[in-house]
Homo-oligomer: A and B are copies of this chain.
Amino acid sequence: MVVTIIGVGLIGGSLAITIKENGFASHIIGVDASEENIDKALRRRIIDEGASLEEAAHRSDIIVVATPVDAMKSVLIQVLDLVDQQVVLDVGSTKKALLATVKSHPKRGRYVATHPMAGTEFSGPEAAIPNLFDHKCTVFCDIEDSDTDAIDIAKLLYASIPMTITYLDAHAHDIHTAYVSHISHISSFALALTVLEKEKNENRIFELASGGFGSTVRLAKSSPDMWTPIFRQNRDNVLDVLDEHINSLARFRSLLIKNDFQTIYELIEQANTIRKILK
């Protein structure tokens, strides 16, 4: 298969490395708004060649849109305007707005909306790594709008990695990702800002930071170019979850004020049941 990756950053680049290494793709064409990214991706052998969107779409069996989610709307329409029998995938973190945009496109059937649930706090071609997606989960959204043969090819791609596939409608996808991904990022950004503010007066505060702080704040290194558009497109769900999270924190606050450590103990025990999910 010849595969075009539009946006050769963390996600697109990692996918390119993986499906080339496992033999699913025989040839990878990179398309990127940044000439520098194409150069980096060529030097790191993430892609076999760079090309224009038109040329790449014409010569590919599969086209994967892996840009930030704000650019994705117009790029996806451009791609669908170009394709005939090719299969088009996106790998974006929000789905409802994107799918509404292409709902009545004449080539909608060639497109399968997917979200491989994996990432790191780094970005750009230099952040692309093999094994990022190994044994993780990909969500397929609203597949009733995709052609059967396009779905089958998308399944083959993800099975080759290998990833498991879960099916959700776009609405449910965006709610779920607000809970298991987007709120974690806001929490980390806010925690980093809280501690950085304190550090202005207390230079030595970070000498004491160890593993626990590092893991909670790791996501605060994530790119604003990737995450601002995600928060914009999933604003309503993110606001709902953020309200609930602020309420959870306010509950701890109120218990601390009341010196009700028995209830704090019980809340921690409840929180511990997250063990059944996180191995």
Which chain A residues have a beta carbon within 8 Å of chain B's beta carbons?
A: 117-121, 136-137, 139, 166, 168, 175-177, 179-181, 183-199, 202, 204-224, 227-228, 231-232, 235, 238-239, 241-253, 256-257, 259, 261, 264-275, 277-278
Contact = CB atoms under 8 A, between A and B. Distances in A.
Nearest to A188: B216
Given A241-B194, A264-B231, A268-B222, A166 B204 contact: yes
Given A183-B194, A223-B268, 15 more contacts: A117-B209, A118-B211, A119-B212, A166-B208, A181-B213, A183-B191, A184-B217, A187-B191, A190-B248, A195-B274, A215-B216, A224-B266, A235-B259, A239-B253, A239-B256
12 contacts: A121-B212, A179-B195, A190-B248, A197-B244, A199-B277, A215-B216, A220-B271, A222-B272, A235-B259, A239-B253, A242-B252, A246-B250
Given A184-B212, A212-B181, A274-B220, A194 B228 contact: no
Given A197-B244, A218-B215, A187 B249 contact: yes
A106 B244 CA distance: 51
Nearest to A263: B228
Given A206-B277, A216-B184, A264-B231, A196 B270 contact: yes
A211 to B, nearest CB: 7
The dominant DSSP class at the A interface is helix
Contacts of A268: 189, 222-224, 227-228
- One complex includes copies of this chain to the number of 2
A29 B277 CA distance: 37
B275 A221 contact: yes
A271 to B, nearest CB: 4
Most B-side CB within 10 Å, residue of A218, A238, A278? A278
